[in-house]
Amino acid sequence: MDSLIQFFNGFSFEALDRLLFWGSPYPLYFILNCICICFILRKSIRKCRPGVSYIFGFSLVFVGKIALSLLFPIPNPIFKHPEVVLYFTIVWFSMNAFPYDLVFKILSWIPFSFIVQLIFTMLQVREVFTVTRVVYVNKMQEYMIVPIVLITVAAPQIIWMVCRLPKARWMGLISIIRLVFLSINQIALLFFGMNPMDQTNKSETMIRFSGLAISFIITFLTFVAYGKDHVDEFDVSLIVHIFRFLRK
């Protein structure tokens, strides 16, 4: 939150870089992630028991973060920041039990729905760079970035691609390819001596924003080509699959 205040007090390209890629994920980016997940979950499952929706949403929000804490000496977010459970609960109730369903209806309007997709894309790009820094600090081989990104960042897309109907599986593949492309880009930069912990290198700053711009373009093209009803189901289609199975 301090990064956000500093950003508005003195806007600059470097300030934007610090805000997007270096600021603490709590609480700002965590809350944004909760909003995206809960909104996409609500869009994907038209009829779902509240308890089931809450558990699935909670799992999707925390699965990547818990996996990262198991792979590296990084504190589990639930233990380090126990208030995040309250944040998620408030967001979930706002999306599912707000009077007149106002929050969900506003976000369902196409412009806001598209903004949610862009925000979620930005959050995943940020997580790829976070994984890069973690690999660098722990002195691991560069190629480990790809499997770690697949486990911690792209896991929902992988599950969605496996469980969705054949005609829709390739949409998850687009998102996975985007994340793998960013990961390979980071591998190459580390191989050629990039220091991902250096916040002052303007070349590396441009690389981060280039990756973000490419990801935004892919999200925009997918949204335009296939409409909000398809794009809104990113990352939670496994839940749709499980829910339909339970209803049988």
Question: What pLDDT is stored for residue 166 in this prediction?
Answer: 44
Place of tokens 């301090």: 2
Least confident of 2-6, 197-201, 218-222: 2-6
- Rounded CA-CA distance 82/124 in Å is 22
Q: Assign 3-class secondary structure to the chain.
A: CHHHHHHHHCCCHHHHHHHHHHCCCCCHHHHHHHHHHHHHHHHHCCCCCHHHHHHHHHHHHHHHHHHHHHHCCCCCHHHHCCHHHHHHHHHHHHHHHCHHHHHHHHHHCHHHHHHHHHHHHHHHHHHHHHHHHHHHHCCCCHHHHHHHHHHHCCHHHHHHHHHCCHHHHHHHHHHHHHHHHHHHHHHHHHHCCCCCCCCCCHHHHHHHHHHHHHHHHHHHHHHHHHHHHHHCCCCCHHHHHHHHHHHC
- Average pLDDT over every residue of 120-129: 90
Residue type, 144: M
- Name the more confident of 193 and 4: 193
Task: Examine the pLDDT at 94 and tell me if it is beyond 90.
Answer: yes
Structure tokens that stand for 149 in this block: 């990104």
CA 190, CA 143: separation in Å to the nearest integer? 10
Distance, in Å, from the CA atom of 183 to the CA atom of 78, rounded to the nearest integer, reads: 27
Report the mean per-residue pLDDT for the chain.
78
pLDDT grade for 231, boundaries at 50, 70 and 90: very low
Domain definitions of the chain by residue range: 2-247
Largest CA distance in the chain: 56
User: What crossing angle do the helices spanning 166-191 and 202-231 adopt, rounded to 10°?
Assistant: 180
Return the higher-pLDDT residue of 84 and 197: 84
- What does the block give as tokens for 35? 């909003």
Radius of gyration of the chain (CA): 18
Query: Considering only CA atoms, which of 126, 132, 121 is closest in space to residue 186?
Result: 132
Phi and psi angles of residue 26, each rounded to the nearest 5 degrees, phi first: -115, 135
pLDDT digits (tens, 9 = 90+) for 107-118: 988 888 889 888
> pLDDT tens across 142-160, in order?
888 988 988 888 766 665 5
The answer to whether the pTM exceeds 0.85 is no
Residue 45 has pLDDT above 50, yes or no: yes
Q: What is the mean pLDDT of residues 130-139?
A: 88
- 236: its two tokens: 């939670």
Is the pLDDT assigned to residue 3 strictly greater than 80? no
Share of the chain above pLDDT 70, in %: 76
φ and ψ at residue 93, rounded to 5 degrees: -65, -40
Give the integer Cα–Cα distance in Å for 231 and 216: 13
| Cis amide bond preceding 111, omega within 30 | no
Q: What is the pLDDT of residue 11?
A: 58
